[in-house]
Structure 1
Amino acid sequence: MGYSLSGRPQSQIDRFCRQYLQLEQDLTYPEASVLREHTTQQIIFSRLFSHKALRYAPPVRYQVRNLKDLIGRIEASIEDWDAHEVSGDLMNALAELLASALPPESDSVQQKSFVTYHLSQLSCKGAADQEAIESVATITLLESRTLISAYGTTGLRTWEAGLHLGQYLCANPGIIGKKRVLELGAGTGYLAILCAKYLDAAQVIASDGSSDVINNLPESFFLNDLQGSDEISAMELKWGHGVVGAGDKPWSSGEAVDVILGADITYDERGHSALIATLIDLLTMFPGAEVLISAAERSQSHVVFQTKAQQAGLGLSDIDYPSLPRELQMGPHTLQAHGRDIGQKHAQLMGLMAGAPVSTRPRYQPRTY
């Protein structure tokens, strides 16, 4: 039996479910008046906790913790137990999870987990039924979500700057459509997959300087049904090493790169000179390429990078693209880092071109679905 709601209650359920699948630590639960309703509980069960709900489920401990919290909140929301009750399906799901063998907490922390990001700007506007609502575009990756940002760990999870740049590209799909795209520091492959699967890129090269990252990218492609695709490939590219005349197929194919992307690639000042050298090489090879870089404002490293890039003769401009407030986000969810709100200016977009600034794109207009 299918269940569906509309308007504000459905938006609250969608937000909760999408945060859950993104493995957010602080979930935004529907209001009590919505949560106590049988229809609400059945929608949540069918989308998150039934045996047929998910192709790639969150870790068992995460499921248990949040299902316990959900049931507790439902119980607290009920004012008249003759009119409302806790879903038997949810109670049974919790019992089954508790009866399963839970991995030790120490093991859970070290294991990678499936994380699903919902691309709300690409969702079906005005969806009339639950099937259409749930058909919103998604990207699923295997990540180490417990990491904090540190040198050598950035390829193990998708960081806020990548999600922010992805939202910008979704709002401006013409940047990518029919273009050949090169991503620097691809990490989990989030942006490369977004461009190849949803933004109609002609060709996408996901590059990274780590051989481990490159070896893991085919798994990311597989999780998003891009295995064997001719439109996306992985390539090792170490910054500071010459790329002109390299024997790699992408450079010898004779086709130009139109767009160069980079997210959270300026966090370590030790790598700035090598990154700038590579950007200069690439812009020399492909003088018409547009470069877009997104940097989290967790430190002043992005400011240092801007100064060094300008000193190297690279035209640079900030792109005005603020994040939505958390209460309006419908996925991906970006304003949270390690359990705390990091504010409206959590990530900055920069445009680079050799010799001339990049024109500023239209300011983002908040939308909800």
Structure 2
Amino acid sequence: MMECAESNKNVPPRKENIGDILKQFQSQFFSTNRLVSFPWTFLENDLELSKSSDVILDILKQTCLHTLCRKFPPSPRYRKCFIAELIRRVESVGCEPLDELYDALAEVVAAQEVAEGYRTYFLPCGDTVSLLENVALISEGTTGLVTWEAALYLAEWALDHPRTFTGRKVLELGSGAGLTGVVVCRTCGPSSYIFSDCHQSVLQRLGDNLSINGLNNKTNTTRTEVSVQELDWTDVTEERWKEFSPDVVIAADVVYDPDVVVVLVQFLSKILKCGGGRVPTEVLICCTVRNPQTYAGFKHSLSDAGIGHRVISGAVNHVFEYNRESEIELVQLFACQ
């Protein structure tokens, strides 16, 4: 995430207007996207042609100086790397110094390093989803304190297919930081939505993030009944499942370890084949295929457990900024007859 962005001087300038470029800088900055993905080529060409730092000031106003950054700031380390990259670009073409740029750097250098930072994602309607996440990918013994790519993909799919959730009871397994669920609750209108996890730190963070996004009991302005539940896949009784009684079960990035796969498939088999009464009409699992062997093992385990699957194909509209280099697959599960 923090790698320095390399200059692409041999790439022709993009034929994009400055408004689009500013939106790109803003959305990528607030989602703390990788610095290499920013539209640096456009910036370099603008600086070289104008020999003015005006565009840098415009970028600052949409990022570090924006009111959103004051309220939900990305981590100090990320902001420092971003500002340092802007300074490098200005100095490389000999533009006049910009006081606001160095003031912003001084402010973030003085900030105390913390283990957390906010990521903010822009919805198509213009609203934002802000989440407090850990800087480290793995911390406190869990990967659930950050947003992973499959959660973003599943949220994009939900935006494209809101009827899957509208007016229905939804249970999310391994909700993590809460991105997918917040997007579904804010845009798709489910009747109820249960965020779940088994790690106490994740459950606490989920509660905090729901409050940030106006989805707790006191500030919930949607028509969706929202709750956070501790859910251990190895210990779900028939009575507990009847309490949930979901129409839709979803999960993102829960297939990453062979040991976890065993427990997950046993749980999925229980809810699909036994169900404790009401069987969900849809079970959707979204996976980033980081280890093909682990993912293939997941599909084999499904088959062995009498669970069928179909891949939901088709592109989704790119709404959020994230690394799309990894393969992501969304599958619908069903009990074989």
- TM-score interval w.r.t. the shorter chain? 0.7 to 0.9
Q: 2:309 is matched with which residue: 313, 316, 326?
A: 316
State the partner residue of 1:252: 243
Corresponding position: 1:185 with 2:174: yes
CA distance, structure 2, for counterparts of residue 17 and residue 48 of structure 1: 6
CA 220–97 in structure 1, closer or farther in 2 if over 3 Å, else same? closer
State the partner residue of 1:93: 104
CA 91–24 in structure 1, closer or farther in 2 if over 3 Å, else same? same
State the partner residue of 2:81: 65
State the partner residue of 2:152: 163
CA distance, structure 1, for counterparts of residue 140 and residue 107 of structure 2: 40
The alpha carbon displacement at 1:7 in A equals: 5.3
Structure 1 residue runs of 5 or longer lacking an equivalent are 1-5, 125-135, 336-342, 357-369
CA distance, structure 2, for counterparts of residue 174 and residue 240 of structure 1: 31
Contact 2:234 2:267 in 1 (8 A): yes
State the partner residue of 1:74: 90
1:109-134 deviation per Cα after TM superposition (whole angstroms, max 9, x unaligned): xx111111233xxx14xxxxxxxxxx
CA distance, structure 2, for counterparts of residue 289 and residue 304 of structure 1: 25
Q: Secondary structure at the match of 1:168?
A: helix
Residue identity in the other structure for 1:90 = L
CA distance, structure 2, for counterparts of residue 320 and residue 201 of structure 1: 23
CA distance, structure 2, for counterparts of residue 280 and residue 10 of structure 1: 50
Superposition pairs of residues 133-144 of structure 1, within 5 angstroms: 136-144=126-134
The alpha carbon displacement at 1:181 in A equals: 0.6
The alpha carbon displacement at 1:289 in A equals: 1.9
Structure 2 residue runs of 5 or longer lacking an equivalent are 1-14
The alpha carbon displacement at 1:330 in A equals: 5.5
Q: TM-score, normalised by structure 1?
A: 0.74
CA distance, structure 1, for counterparts of residue 213 and residue 93 of structure 2: 38
State the partner residue of 1:130: none
Query: Which stretch of the first structure deviates more once superposed, 300-309 or 52-61?
Result: 52-61
Contact 1:114 1:143 in 2 (8 A): yes
Contact 1:15 1:330 in 2 (8 A): no
CA distance, structure 1, for counterparts of residue 207 and residue 315 of structure 2: 32
Residue identity in the other structure for 2:65 = S
- Quick one: percent identity of the two aligned structures? 27
CA distance, structure 2, for counterparts of residue 199 and residue 7 of structure 1: 32
CA 118–145 in structure 1, closer or farther in 2 if over 3 Å, else same? farther
Contact 2:25 2:63 in 1 (8 A): no
1:207-240 deviation per Cα after TM superposition (whole angstroms, max 9, x unaligned): 1122332232110101212121362111111112
State the partner residue of 1:20: 29
Corresponding position: 1:293 with 2:293: no
CA 315–151 in structure 1, closer or farther in 2 if over 3 Å, else same? farther
Q: Secondary structure at the match of 1:116?
A: strand
Q: Secondary structure at the match of 2:227?
A: strand
Contact 1:243 1:278 in 2 (8 A): no
The alpha carbon displacement at 1:91 in A equals: 3.6
Contact 2:27 2:121 in 1 (8 A): yes
The alpha carbon displacement at 1:29 in A equals: 3.1
State the partner residue of 1:213: 202
